[in-house]
Amino acid sequence: MTQRSSLTQELRSHGIVARLSLEHKLPLIIGALLLVVIVALSVAAYVQARDTALRVASERLSSVTAQVRDLLQQQAAGLRAANAPIGEDVIAFAKTRDARLRERALAALRYTGPQPQQVIASELRDVSGVVLLSTSRDTFKLPQLPAGEIRTRRAPTDSAVLGKFRLLRDSIIYPIAVPVPGTQDTYVVHWRRMSGSRSSREQTTRLIGSDATLFVGNADGSLWGDLERPVRGPPVALSAEPGLQTYTRGDDKQRHLAAAATVPGTLWAVVTDFPRQNVMAPVEGFVQRMAVIATLVLLLVLVVAWMVSRRITGPLRQLTQAADGIAAGDYSQRVRIARSDELGRLGRAFGIMATEVQQSRVDLEKKVDERTRDLNATMTQLHDAQDALVRKEKLAMLGQLSSGVGHELRNPLGVMTNAVYYLKTVLASQPQNIHEYLDILQQQITLSEKIVSDLLDFARSKPPQRKSTSVAEVTQAQIGRLGPTNGVQIDTGLPNDLPRVLVDPVQLGQIVQNLLSNAMQAVGASGSIRIRADSSGDRVTYEMQDSGPGIPHENLDKVFEPLFTTKARGIGLGLAVSRTLARANNGELTASSTPGEGAKFRLTLQVAPAGIG
């Protein structure tokens, strides 16, 4: 029984998995291992596919951005060459500022190069920004053109300088400034629109991809356009060579990949943008397909593993059932496994073993019957010997009681003899000491009476006369019998609604008196005794706890044994008698203690049924 209990506790300590049958455990283990492999491979595949997709997107964006940058650089070179020629009349007017040359200079100022429809106005300006001549007939005012913008971008081989993009109403324009030969800081400025429209933007989109967005703007990020209209620029860092960058666009809150580069020889920059979600869409689709395939494979493997485990555990189940039957005494159990592998050989060996065990049991039962007949012949002798042993033990107990009574009564009687002798001697001369020695005589006589009472109660116990009794009244009565407590505090916190108990009131008083006497001796001259009681169901629990030194743990089981005592006086029958009386009244008396914190005695009694007096 002990081995089976320890085995059960061991199985519980291993958890639920340990208690599963092999039929379910094997598929779970295989499925868990396969799931780990699938997850590891899926994560590795996802990381590899993600890195590949990002690398391809980076190469694509960088390539497209570089191509657009080169196209803009070539376009800038062509614009510089197309806008470089300046008419002689314009040069003459710039040098002389002669009003008679104004009309001819204004006619020569008009742009006649490629794509004249893109030029919205041509101007002759000085370094302070004053417009000397202008072909514009519109009422709008063209932006200012700082001299520093043209001076800092001039190159020795360039005859024209392309300025930054500017916003004019709903159009993006930019200046092409050509210095006038023979003058100081006088320029011909041709204002051009950004050559783009919806069709050109759509054509560029088809070129770079339907999901990509092309931004062209100033290198300082002050203005951006998409070849059709002004747009909010991307928050990217610009450099000479395009590199992959990631950012969140404010309008759609999505992550975007971008490549940005400045256009050499200009104040322009180009950015190619691509949504990261579009790049990762094929990767996510791949992962989803992998998840579906992995789930199907996992289910298939679980089914196969379950079938294999059933084929293995089926014979094992037969062996287990047969073994349980044999353990229960049914030797007719046999295992039939029609297989030629190890399980089949194990089943045949088990059948042979069961047959041998059954035969051994038959032989053993025959021998037991023979030995039983011989044993019955000696049982009478054993009973006789046991009766003799009991009688000897009773005699030994009687001898111990006699020794204890003789030893314990000799001391108080000797004290009384000496006290009486002293009284006879000094009665006439010192009458004031008579009461003191009379008290000594009374204490010793009371002690002698208690010893004799304990012996009589232990030797002969009367059947209890049980009736409805108040625990509080019995407790107060026994406290009153104690007399002076010599400084010991007795706290009786008994509730007023405590049910009455079904007990012999005299025997209950004797139990309480013994507990009080032991507690008074334990606490000494100063201490406290706490008495509490409560009810639960049909039982009343009565507790008495003292503040004494407590009972050692090794003595807790011995304090209720007859003749066991650790006191200098007494024969150790009080608690033994109290427990006997408690059990006779359908109750129980127990003890608990923590060394140094006192001892607690707990008495449980039956609640008196209604109607019993």
Q: For 427-458, how does the pLDDT look when each residue is reduced to its tens digit (9 = 90+)?
A: 655 555 665 665 566 556 665 655 655 555 55
Percent of the chain residues past pLDDT 70, beyond the cut: 67
Residue range 410-417: mean pLDDT, rounded: 64
* Partners of 527 in beta bridges: 488
357 in a domain, yes or no? no
- b/e burial code for range 416-455 (CB count within 10 A of at least 16 → b): beebeeebeeeeeeeeeeeeebeebbeebeebbebbeebb
pLDDT at 603 over 90: yes
Nearest to 268 by CA among 328, 201, 222, 330: 222
Q: Which amino acid is residue 269, in one-letter code?
A: A
Q: What is the dihedral of CA 295, 301, 306, 309, to 10 degrees?
A: -150
- Per-residue pLDDT of 75-113, as tens digits, reads 888 888 888 888 888 888 888 888 888 889 888 888 888
Which pLDDT does position 9 carry in this prediction?
56
Nearest to 315 by CA among 350, 341, 347: 347
Measured CA to CA, the distance from residue 55 to residue 432 in angstroms comes to 119
Least confident range from 1-15, 287-301, 551-565: namely 1-15
Count Cβ atoms below 10 Å from residue 273 Cβ, excluding itself.
Answer: 23
- Per-residue pLDDT of 513-540, as tens digits, reads 888 888 888 887 778 889 999 998 899 9
Which pLDDT does position 1 carry in this prediction?
44
Which pLDDT does position 183 carry in this prediction?
83
User: Which one of 255, 277, 299 terminates a domain?
Assistant: 277
Which pLDDT does position 331 carry in this prediction?
63
User: Which one of 277, 294, 324 terminates a domain?
Assistant: 277
**Rounded alpha-carbon distances, angstroms, from residue 350 to 311, 340, 354:** 19, 15, 6
Residue range 355-364: mean pLDDT, rounded: 72
**Rounded alpha-carbon distances, angstroms, from residue 79 to 143, 161, 294:** 20, 9, 60
pLDDT higher at 212 or 459: 212
Least confident range from 168-182, 183-197, 267-281, 414-428: namely 414-428
pTM of the model: 0.45
- Per-residue pLDDT of 257-277, as tens digits, reads 888 888 888 888 888 887 888
User: Which 3 state secondary structure label does DSSP give 463?
Assistant: coil
Structure-token match 């794509």, residue found: 115
Q: What is the extent of the structural domain holding 485?
A: 461-606
> Which residues, other chains included, contact 170 with Cβ-Cβ below 8 Å and sequence gap of 6+?
229, 230
pLDDT at 186 over 80: yes
User: Which 3 state secondary structure label does DSSP give 178?
Assistant: strand
Percent of the chain residues past pLDDT 90, beyond the cut: 4
Mean pLDDT of the chain: 76
Which pLDDT does position 439 carry in this prediction?
58
CB 548 within 8 A of CB 523: yes
Measured CA to CA, the distance from residue 114 to residue 83 in angstroms comes to 9
**Residue 157 banded pLDDT, cuts 50, 70, 90:** very low
22 in a domain, yes or no? no
What is the 3 state secondary structure string of 525-569? CCEEEEEEEEEECCEEEEEEEECCCCCCHHHCCCCCCCCCCCCCC
Angle, to 10 degrees, between the axis of helix 276-327 and the axis of helix 342-426?
Answer: 70
- Per-residue pLDDT of 24-82, as tens digits, reads 777 778 878 888 888 888 888 888 888 888 888 788 888 888 888 888 888 888 888 88
154 in a domain, yes or no? yes
561 in a domain, yes or no? yes
The distance in angstroms from the start CA to the end CA of the chain is 48
**Residue 604 banded pLDDT, cuts 50, 70, 90:** very high
Least confident range from 113-122, 342-351, 517-526, 603-612: namely 342-351
192 in a domain, yes or no? yes
216 in a domain, yes or no? yes
Measured CA to CA, the distance from residue 320 to residue 329 in angstroms comes to 14
Element (H, E) at 69: helix 22-83
User: Which one of 223, 244, 277 terminates a domain?
Assistant: 277
> Which residues, other chains included, contact 232 with Cβ-Cβ below 8 Å and sequence gap of 6+?
224, 250, 251
Q: How far is CA 501 from the centre of its chain?
A: 51
CB 114 within 8 A of CB 121: no
Return the CATH number at 588. Answer: 3.30.565.10
Tokens of 434: 């008579």
Which pLDDT does position 501 carry in this prediction?
92
257 in a domain, yes or no? yes
DSSP states along 341-409: SHHHHHHHHHHHHHHHHHHHHHHHHHHHHHHHHHHHHHHHHHHHHHHHHHHHHHHHHHHHHHHHHHHHH
Question: Which regions of 470-526 does DSSP assign to beta strands (E)?
Answer: 488-493, 501-503
pLDDT higher at 221 or 249: 221
> Which residues, other chains included, contact 452 with Cβ-Cβ below 8 Å and sequence gap of 6+?
405, 409
CB 109 within 8 A of CB 188: yes
CB 540 within 8 A of CB 604: yes
Residue range 402-420: mean pLDDT, rounded: 62
**Rounded alpha-carbon distances, angstroms, from residue 453 to 224, 403, 447, 577:** 115, 16, 10, 10
Nearest to 342 by CA among 304, 311, 321: 311
Residue range 371-385: mean pLDDT, rounded: 70
226 in a domain, yes or no? yes
Which pLDDT does position 395 carry in this prediction?
41
Which pLDDT does position 493 carry in this prediction?
85
- Number of structural domains (the chain) is 2
CB 451 within 8 A of CB 483: no
pLDDT higher at 8 or 464: 464
Which pLDDT does position 465 carry in this prediction?
86
Residue range 576-595: mean pLDDT, rounded: 87
CB 573 within 8 A of CB 562: yes
For the ranges 6-15, 407-416, 448-457, 502-511, the maximum mean pLDDT occurs at 502-511
